[in-house]
Structures are given as C-alpha cells and as structure tokens.
Amino acid sequence: MRRIPSLLLAVGLLLATPVLAHDIQQDDLRIAHPFATPAPPSVPHGAAYLDISVTGDTPAVLVGASSPASESVEIHDMSMDEGVMRMRRVERLEVAPGTTQRMRPGGGYHLMLMNLVAPLNDGDRFPLTLEFAERGEVQVEVWVQSAEDGSEAAEGHHTP
C-alpha cells in the first residue's frame, strides 16, 4: 500500500508538467519546427531556428525569448558586411500579416542561445519561450538536429 501514494504523486507531476508542442498554433500565429543545431562542449553559444507565420491582420512582433538551455536568448540577425559574416542583436523581429519569417542556418535571423548550460546533442529537446508584443508568450519544444536535417524537416514537414 505504501507505493500507491508515490505512484499517485508521480502521475500528478506528469499531469502538472505542461505538454510542449513542437508546432504551435496560437490564434493567428503559427510557430513551426523549432530546431537547434548541435553544440559540442567547446562551443559556448547555440543557435535555434523556427518559422513564424501570421495569418491575421496584425503583425506579430517577437521581442524576446528565454530557455532553461542557456543563460539568455537573444534575437540575432546575421549578414555579410564587407565579406565578413557579422551577427548583430536586434530588439524586435516583426512578422508582417500574411507572411512567414523563416529562420535557417547560414544567414539572417536566428535565436542565439547565449552561454549554454550544457552541450546540445543531436536528439536532445528543450523548451523555449517566445515573447511577443501584445500577444504574450508562446512555449515551444526545440529539437536538436543537424542543420541539413533541420532545414529539410522544416521545409517538408508542414506541406499542407
């Protein structure tokens, strides 16, 4: 009989844990296929990528993000500057109505996981909270996978 309370407790904890979805539809906002590229112990920072789609009439403005996987999360834009790849932090990323902002390795916007708590290994999953102006927070589950796999999955994963 002593096992029953602990079993019930375990079930209660399971139920209390929010189930994080990989693809999120929240009102007219859709977050698709969040993934992060693997980061070995020698790499201090990681990068996460996802697609943000807005189907309604008002833009979605990403103003921040956070995750237990790193000390902080910054919105970055990467571009070529006189032949050199440069990353710069941006305070907000606006997604216009009726459009999709795609993030992919190799350039453009990404979410920088500043000071990783642990290496990111292929197959790992971790929660990420996106903060949108006016719309509040959206929680997603990020999958760690190689850039090629992630991009392919992102492209092919959501064809209607």
List residues near Cu ion by CB under 5 A: 76, 87, 112
Cβ proximity to Cu ion, 112 vs 128, nearer residue: 112
- Residue among 50 and 112 whose Cβ is closer to Cu ion: 112
Q: How far is the CB of 140 from Cu ion (least distance, A)?
A: 19
- Output the CA–CA distances (angstroms, integers) from residue 104 to 11, 58, 87, 134, 157, in the order listed: 38, 24, 14, 26, 15
Query: Nearest residue by C-beta to Cu ion?
Result: 76
Closest listed residue to residue 31, CA positions, set 59, 50, 57, 56: 50
Please state the closest distance from residue 105 (CB atom) to Cu ion, in A.
Answer: 11
Identity of the amino acid at 94: E
| Minimum CB distance to Cu ion, residue 84 (Å) | 14
139-to-6, 91, 127, 133 alpha-carbon distances in Å: 29, 19, 7, 14
Compare residues 68 and 106 and give the one whose CB is closer to Cu ion.
Answer: 106
How far apart are CB 65 and Cu ion at their closest, in Å? 12
112 versus 144: smaller Cβ distance to Cu ion:
112
